[in-house]
Structures are given as structure tokens and as C-alpha cells.
Structure 1
Amino acid sequence: MTRAESLAQARRVIHRIVAERHDRPSLVPRIASEIGAEIVEGHIPPGHDLNTVDLARRYQTSRTPVREALLLLDREGLVDLPPRRRPTAHVHTIQDVREAYTTRTVIFELIATEVAERAGEREIAMLEQVLTYMRQAVERGDPTAFTWLSVHFHEIETRISGNRTAKRIHDSLLLRMLAIRRLAIAQPGRLAQSMEDHVQLVKAYSGGQAHLAGAIMRASHIASREAIELYHENGGALVAPSAP
């Protein structure tokens, strides 16, 4: 997947969540999705100043929609709004990552058990179709495409679960973790292992094995967190790797 394609995927996901969660004029979610996507993709580096004058000029608007867009991104964990200072792109800390993974593990374990209890043949077929594309991404050695397909896979899971509260928490964590998830999948061995985890998960769903599905989801998230922790301990920066 190219940089442009990955950026477009980030815009789509961010716009969907921001537009669903916040009732604002259409210009505000568009600005938020474009700035947010550039932060996720590393085009705007962590800690970079977000000058509202420059952004207003870029979007040919007043500063008010820009400020509202940055406020939305602050609420979703992509922008920091320090008092009496310029907004900046969020800088991940390892503690942030651990807390997000811990919360995400619990939420996704719950979602997995609910999917196993609710999924019918049609829902299983939808997930298996995504698996086909994920296998192709693994064969190409394309962790960026795989990550976005995994995002789509989990979007389907949250719909199947029917748990609206879990979906709201999932969406918030998704935006906060987009860059880190890309980074986790890029770690040695994680692409193949994540593929296998998804395959086993669908098998558990197909068999209605709720306890097994929850256990697979939990183990996968713990392994991802540990991969990030090891990477960080070895001096790695907590930013998404660039797409080709």
C-alpha cells in the first residue's frame, strides 16, 4: 500500500468516527480528518506545532472551524491543547500505550465473546472475505495494508456484537492507537502471527466458541503490547512506520 493510499484510509476512518460522534458543520469533520490523518501517518510529526493561522489559510476558512477541528482531535487523543500554548500533534508515551492496550484488551475480549454468540453464516462470510485480503497482504509483505484490513475486520466485529457502548470505546481507542497498531504489526514475526490469530478467531466464531474467541483476542493484544514494549526498550520511537 502506498503512502497516498494509507493516508486516504486514515482520513476515511477518522472522518467516520468524528462525524458519528460529534455534531458539527461538515467542514469541521473534514478538517479534523485531514489533520488527524497526517498525524497518524507521520506527515505531521509528534510534538509539531499546529498553527491555526496557517491551517485556516490552507483550508481557506476562518480560524473558528480550525479550532473546533483541533478540539475534536484533542478529545480523540490525536492533538494536545496545552493552556496558553499552541496546539501540538500528540506525543505517545509508553505509559499511554500500555494503558490503551490494557483497556483495548478488555473491550475486545468482550466483543469477541459477543461475536461468537451472535455471528451467523452471513457474518462469518464477511469476516472470511476480509481474511482473504489479509492473506494477500501477508504474501506481499505489506504490513500497512494488513493493518488497515485489520481495522476493517474489527469494525465488522463491533457491528456484529451489537454492543454500542463497547463500539464507542473501541472507536476512541482506535484513533488513539492507529499509529501504534501499524508499529506493532511491523515488528519481527508479528505480521504472520497476527494473521494466524485472525484465522483462529474466525474459526472460534464459526464454532460459537465464545470463551476461546475471547482468549485468542486477549493473547493477541498482549503479544502486540509486549512487541511494542520490547521495541521501545531498544530505543525505538513510538511513531507509525512510513508506507512505501
Structure 2
Amino acid sequence: MEILRVLGRPATSDSVVDQILVSVGTAIVEGRLRPGDDLNSVELARTFRSSRTPVREALLTLEREGLVEIAAHRRPRVRGLLLGEVREIYELRATLYGLVSRRIVEKAADSDIEVLRTCQREMDRAADAGDVDRYFWLTVGLRNNEAVIAGNATVGRVLDGVGVRTLQLRHLGLSPPGRLRTSAADHARLLRAYEERDAGLASALSETIVRRGLLAVESVGWTGDRSPRTSP
């Protein structure tokens, strides 16, 4: 599970804390919990048949990652990034993924490109089916594979540092009508640039993909405060 990976926790863990992290974190990322929504510790403890201690630990972890805010004498609630913060994060991601794509062209073996082709085929199928959640998690997997192929551990750590906070936004950015097909077509062009070993084009396309994601977030009226739901 991507949320556990970014948090540096074992993907195979079955602890109550990690179960809560995955459940609450995924609900925030996929938009079932929205900025401003309360997180009831008592209800979470009842749902997971635990004491409130693992609930508290999980929520504190999500607070450190910027998904939850915990104030004195108030229930924890889902935190929303302000639009200015969102733009700053996307500017950073665009620059870093441009670097990642350039390094892929320089370093990738044919077998690495085939991994990316497999990801692209799955993304195309999800886009054709209109499955936003599946398409989203496939793009997350694609970006993870790209970071590994690029082989720059420092860049990977920086991307992970903003990773969980951006997942919520990246999912939202795929929700406008027609967005899945546009995104899939953009990624297909990026794959061709990798195949043709065109570093400049790959870098520019990768940055464009990220910036189009930001435009999509802005188009649905994200404010960081109870951002609206949209239909796929």
C-alpha cells in the first residue's frame, strides 16, 4: 500500500495502527473524507476493535504528514492544503519529475522501458473503463517505478517527503470529465519519448503532465476547505 510505503512502514504490516493509517489515509486520498471532516476517535476505536491508543498514534502520524490537523479541545479533522501551498508543491514536483524523466532516458535498460509499457497498458484499460480510483493508483505505481529507474535516491526521498499530501490532490485532479483519457494520452506520449531516448522531450512532457494536474485541481475549485466532490 502506497501510504505505508511513503510513511516508511512495512507494506506487509497488519498492526492496528497501520490498518487505521491505510483506512483513514485512503479515504482522505480518494475523497471520501474531505477537508474539514471530523475524525471521531471513539468511532475509529470501535470500528477497529481497539483502544484509543492506536487511533491516536495513527492520527498523529497523519498529522505529521499534513493530512490531519489536531487542535486542543477539538476533534481531529481532515486538513486541506491551501491553494498557495498546492501550487508550491506542484511546482516542486514538476521540476523533480522533469529531472527523473531525463535520467530515465539516460539510464533505463530495455527491460525498464518494458515495465513502464506494462504500466501504460493497465492505465489505458482503467481510463477506458472510467475507473478513477484504479487509474489513480496505477499512475502512482508508474511514478514510483520511474523514480526507481532514475536511480537518484535524494530525489526519491524529496518526492516521498511530499508524497502523502500530494496523493489527495493527484486523485482530485483526475476527477473532471474526460480527464482520464487526457492523462492517459499524455503518459503515452511520455512513454514514446522514453522509447525514442529523447531526454529533452521526456523532461518537458513530464513537467507538463504535473502542471496539467495542477490546472485540473484548480478547475474543480479546490480551496483547501471542504473542496467539492466532482463526478468522474
TM-score (norm 1): 0.82
> Are residue 110 (structure 1) and residue 110 (structure 2) matched?
no
Q: Which residue of 1 aligns with 2:17?
A: 28
Render the CA deviation track for 1:162-219: whole Å, top value 9, x for unaligned: 2222222223433212232222222244322221221121222223322221111111
> Are residue 221 (structure 1) and residue 221 (structure 2) matched?
no
Give runs of aligned pairs for residues 202-241 of structure 1, distance below 5 A. Answer: 202-232=191-221, 238=227, 241=230
On the 8 A contact 1:112/1:213 being kept in 2, the answer is yes
Runs of at least 5 residues in structure 1 that lack an aligned partner in the other structure: 1-11
Q: Which residue of 2 aligns with 1:82?
A: 71
Give runs of aligned pairs for residues 34-183 of structure 1, distance below 5 A. Answer: 34-183=23-172
Query: 1:241 and 1:151, CA in 2 relative to 1: closer, same or farther beyond 3 A?
Result: farther
On the 8 A contact 1:53/1:63 being kept in 2, the answer is yes
On the 8 A contact 1:183/1:239 being kept in 2, the answer is no
CA distance in 1, matches of 2:56, 2:29: 19
Query: Could you tell me which amino acid in structure 2 is paired with residue 121 of structure 1?
Result: D
Q: CA deviation at 1:51?
A: 2.8
**Could you say which structure has the higher helix fraction?**
1
Q: How many pairs does the alignment contain?
A: 230
Q: Percent identity between the aligned chains? A: 36
Query: 1:107 and 1:203, CA in 2 relative to 1: closer, same or farther beyond 3 A?
Result: same
Render the CA deviation track for 1:64-92: whole Å, top value 9, x for unaligned: 22211111111212111224432111124
TM-score (norm 2): 0.86
On the 8 A contact 1:49/1:89 being kept in 2, the answer is yes
RMSD: 2.8
Query: 1:242 and 1:40, CA in 2 relative to 1: closer, same or farther beyond 3 A?
Result: farther
